[in-house]
């Protein structure tokens, strides 16, 4: 197993530095404080006598995989420029061109150096922590609770003092540490699955670390890029499904989905239905509460491994895959292992690898940068998937007395039905499975609060709750994804959830919460804005970082946060969305704050009002199948 070596460059007009931090050997029990970790960091600067050689020895040391955030497009190109023997001034030119390619034509020297902006240093292994991720490292620092540190030294300063350099190095070390934490807390589980997949299929670790999941899957399946020229051709319905679909979906909808990639909104089975490239989405109505009882039951009916099944059963797999049988073998092996009573460690690892391949292949066929790119098959998969579910939803609605389709989503349907009609429901599910050759799974939902199709709270029959969307989100981590949800006053979402499920007063949940992270709101500027300021109550302004953490304060001398852009030579101010009237910033490492002191300053009324706003809507529910207004969930 390769050991990770994290690194990051800072490049100035006449000087550069690079900080390296090695993966701790006790990574799994890693619990060191920030300072002790940074003490082991190594530093190389352009001031060093043997700067180039020192840099190369660290980047090319055997047994290491170099890692960092966006190193594929920036840091490795900077390293290559230094390796080629260019001066700090020329390194800066390359840096500027990477950030702004239009600068390649600004001088003869820029034009001469521009090819190096796209040439990476050849290293035995690297892992870009931006693979399969979005956003800046700075945003991730803010969400992970790290020190949101920015250098005070302007990046165009030509004559750096020793103090300036110390400031930049301190800042650079923080970014390396942040990359390490981003990997440890978020990327590592994702990487573990990727490396297991590589091992199962005989792909070298050094190769696998460079690849995104989709690129790895493309490699595993031996895909070879081909041009088919049929990306604009009409989708063809499988013969065995034609009658079923034409019996249950309006012909105008069918014709649109078969011939157009444009979205379509229609009214079907008492739902507002949207067909699009992201799949089918429909909703009976917004602000709906549904509860199972002795007479009625709410069911989550899902198509089992829907997209992988479509790829196999209806030959939708990318035609660039040289051995389609391999994909089907992987599917069957995963099913076999899933049903084993006593799984071995190797079984568990193989199942993880197979799941990754099965769930990634559809998306890979729609990525024009991959060998698996096959736009016609990608469109066909999506359109057939929508038609199949729409047909089932409509047949259930037309056939089963009183049945309500609460919503449809990419691979499933929520239905509300009388228990005495469950046998009929299951007969219709079997009919659909017979036609599609795709199995279905059911799950009983005890309670559901549906704000809309993308935002809901459900409680299953075992009392476990699940939230979807940003409405009541209260967790920064998104398992299975290399991404984080911004901290956004989770205490208010938690209060609203507790009120809905257990009837707990909103204020009680908020006041009892002692987790500083739950009161934090992360606010960041976009790339089109130049800076961020806090405008105090007396009209003065304080410049802040690009990304900031705030808590609602009772101190009325404070003010709101604004992002600034220049418009016709003048500053244009835009208020950060969803920030309090009086903001106190908390941009140091969150573990360094004393919450007992902070709570004296917190404006609890702000978080209470925010919780009220999350619930302030007219809810509806069913009474023996009839829709009625529901007053139980009013926050007033």
What is the Cα–Cα distance from 88 to 569, expressed in whole angstroms?
33
The residues pairing with 66 across neighbouring beta strands, listed in sequence order, are 5, 126
pLDDT score for 26: 73
CATH: 1.10.287, 3.30.420, 3.30.1490, 3.10.450. Which one for 3-211? Answer: 3.30.420
Model confidence at 31, in pLDDT bands (50, 70, 90)? Answer: low
For residue 223, the SS3 value is: strand
pTM: 0.92
Handedness of CA 583, 516, 149, 485 (dihedral sign): negative
Distance from C-alpha of 208 to C-alpha of 197, rounded to nearest angstrom: 9
Q: What is the pLDDT of residue 32?
A: 63
Q: What is the mean pLDDT of residues 155-173?
A: 96
Sort residue 566 into left (φ over 0), alpha (ψ -120 to 50) or beta. Answer: beta
Average pLDDT rounded to a whole number, residues 31-55: 90
Residues 6+ apart with CB under 8 A from 449: 288, 289, 456, 457, 458, 500, 619, 633
Mean pLDDT of 58-70: 97
pLDDT at 29: 63
499-541 per-position pLDDT tens digit: 999 999 999 999 999 999 999 999 999 889 999 999 999 999 9
pLDDT score for 486: 93
- Cα dihedral sign, 217-220-221-226: positive
Query: What distance in Å separates the CA atoms of residue 513 and residue 373, rounded to the nearest whole number?
Result: 49
Q: Within 10 Å of residue 15's Cβ, how many Cβ atoms?
A: 21
pLDDT at position 149 is 83
Q: Per-domain residue ranges for the chain?
A: 3-211, 220-468, 490-615
Q: How confident is the model at residue 132 (pLDDT cuts 50, 70, 90)?
A: confident
pLDDT-derived band at 374 (thresholds 50, 70, 90) equals: very high
Categorize the per-residue pLDDT at 479 as very low, low, confident or very high, splitting at 50, 70 and 90. confident
Q: What is the pLDDT of residue 502?
A: 96
Helix, strand, coil abundance in the chain, percent, nearest 5: 40, 25, 35
Residues 353-389 as b/e (b if ≥16 CB within 10 A, e otherwise) read bbbbbbebbbebbbbeebbbbbbbbbbbbbbbbbbbb
With b for 16 or more beta-carbon neighbours within 10 A and e for fewer, the 110-126 pattern comes to beebbebbeebbebebb
| Beta-bridge partners for 626 | 623
Q: pLDDT tens across 438-473, in order? A: 999 999 999 999 999 999 999 999 999 999 999 999
Asked whether residue 480 carries a pLDDT value surpassing 80, the answer given is: no
| pLDDT tens digits for range 190-243 | 899 999 999 999 999 999 999 999 999 999 999 999 999 999 999 999 999 999
Tell me: pLDDT of 368 over 80: yes
CB neighbours of 129 closer than 8 A, spacing ≥ 6? 67, 68, 69, 70, 71, 179, 182, 183, 187
Q: Which CATH number fits domain 220-468: 3.90.1600.10, 3.40.50.10470, 3.40.50.150, 3.20.20.70?
A: 3.90.1600.10
Q: Is the pLDDT of residue 28 over 70?
A: no
Average pLDDT, rounded, for the chain: 95
The DSSP bridge partners found for residue 465 are 459
pLDDT per residue over 85-108, tens digit each? 999 999 999 999 999 999 999 999
pLDDT tens per residue across span 590-618: 999 999 999 999 999 999 999 999 999 99
Q: Is it the case that residue 420 has pLDDT exceeding 80?
A: yes
| Res. 30 pLDDT band, cuts 50 70 90 | low
Segment 235-277, tens digit of pLDDT:
999 999 999 999 999 999 999 999 998 999 999 999 999 999 8
Burial 592-614 (b: 16+ CB within 10 A, else e): eeeeeebeeebbbebbbbbbbeb
């Amino acid at each position: 197993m390769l050991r990770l070596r994290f690194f990051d460059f800072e490049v100035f007009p006449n000087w550069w530095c690079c900080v390296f931090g090695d993966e701790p050997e006790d990574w799994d029990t890693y619990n060191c404080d920030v300072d002790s970790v940074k003490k082991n960091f190594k530093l190389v600067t352009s001031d060093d006598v043997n700067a180039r050689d020192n840099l190369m020895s660290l980047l090319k040391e055997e047994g290491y995989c170099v890692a960092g955030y966006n190193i594929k497009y920036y840091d490795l190109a900077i390293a290559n420029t230094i390796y080629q023997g260019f001066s700090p001034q020329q390194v800066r030119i390359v840096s500027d061109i990477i950030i702004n390619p239009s600068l390649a034509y600004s001088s003869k020297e820029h034009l001469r150096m521009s090819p190096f902006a796209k040439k990476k240093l050849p290293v035995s292994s690297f892992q870009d922590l931006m693979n399969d991720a979005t956003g800046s490292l700075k945003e991730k620092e803010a969400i992970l609770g790290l020190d949101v540190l920015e250098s005070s030294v302007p990046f165009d300063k030509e004559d750096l003092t020793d103090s300036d350099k110390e400031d930049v190095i301190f800042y650079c070390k923080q970014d390396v540490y942040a990359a390490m934490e981003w990997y440890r807390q978020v990327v590592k589980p994702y990487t573990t699955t990727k490396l297991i997949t590589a091992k199962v299929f005989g792909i070298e670790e050094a190769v696998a670390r460079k690849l995104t999941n989709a690129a790895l899957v493309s490699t595993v399946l031996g895909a070879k890029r081909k041009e088919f020229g049929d990306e604009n051709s009409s989708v063809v319905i499988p013969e065995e499904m034609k009658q079923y679909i034409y019996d249950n979906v309006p012909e105008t909808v069918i014709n649109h989905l078969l011939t157009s990639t444009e979205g379509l909104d229609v009214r079907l089975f008492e739902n507002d239905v949207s067909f699009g490239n992201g799949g089918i989405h429909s909703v009976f109505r917004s602000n709906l509460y549904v509860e199972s009882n002795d007479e009625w039951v709410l069911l989550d009916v899902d198509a089992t491994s829907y997209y992988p099944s479509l790829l196999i059963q209806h030959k939708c797999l990318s035609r660039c895959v040289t051995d389609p049988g391999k994909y089907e073998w992987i599917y069957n092996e995963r099913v076999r292992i899933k049903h084993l009573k006593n799984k071995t460690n190797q079984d568990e690892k193989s199942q993880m690898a197979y799941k990754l391949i099965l769930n990634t292949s559809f998306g890979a066929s729609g990525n024009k940068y991959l060998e698996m790119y096959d736009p016609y098959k990608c469109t066909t998969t999506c359109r057939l998937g929508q038609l199949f579910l729409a047909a089932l939803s409509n047949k259930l609605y037309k056939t089963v007395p009183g049945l309500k389709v609460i919503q449809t989503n990419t691979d499933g349907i929520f239905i509300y039905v009388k228990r005495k009609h469950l046998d009929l429901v299951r007969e219709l599910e079997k009919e659909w499975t017979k036609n599609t050759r795709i199995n279905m799974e059911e799950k009983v939902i005890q309670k559901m609060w549906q704000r809309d199709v993308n935002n809901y709270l459900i409680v299953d029959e075992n009392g476990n709750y699940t939230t979807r969307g940003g409405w009541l989100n209260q967790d920064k981590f998104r398992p299975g994804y290399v991404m984080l949800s911004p901290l956004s006053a989770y205490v208010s979402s938690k209060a609203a959830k507790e009120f809905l499920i257990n009837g707990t007063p909103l204020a009680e949940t908020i006041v009892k919460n002692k987790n500083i992270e739950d009161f934090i709101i992360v606010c960041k500027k976009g790339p089109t804005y130049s800076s961020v300021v806090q405008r105090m109550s007396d009209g003065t302004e304080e410049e802040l970082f690009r990304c900031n953490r705030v808590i609602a304060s009772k101190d009325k001398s404070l003010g709101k946060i604004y992002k600034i852009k220049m418009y016709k030579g003048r500053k244009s101010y835009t208020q950060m969305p969803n920030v309090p009237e009086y903001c106190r910033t908390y941009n140091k490492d969150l573990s360094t704050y004393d919450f007992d002191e902070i709570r004296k300053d917190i404006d609890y009324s702000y978080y209470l009002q925010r919780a009220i706003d999350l619930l302030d809507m007219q809810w509806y529910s069913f009474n023996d199948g009839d829709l009625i207004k529901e007053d139980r969930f009013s926050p007033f």
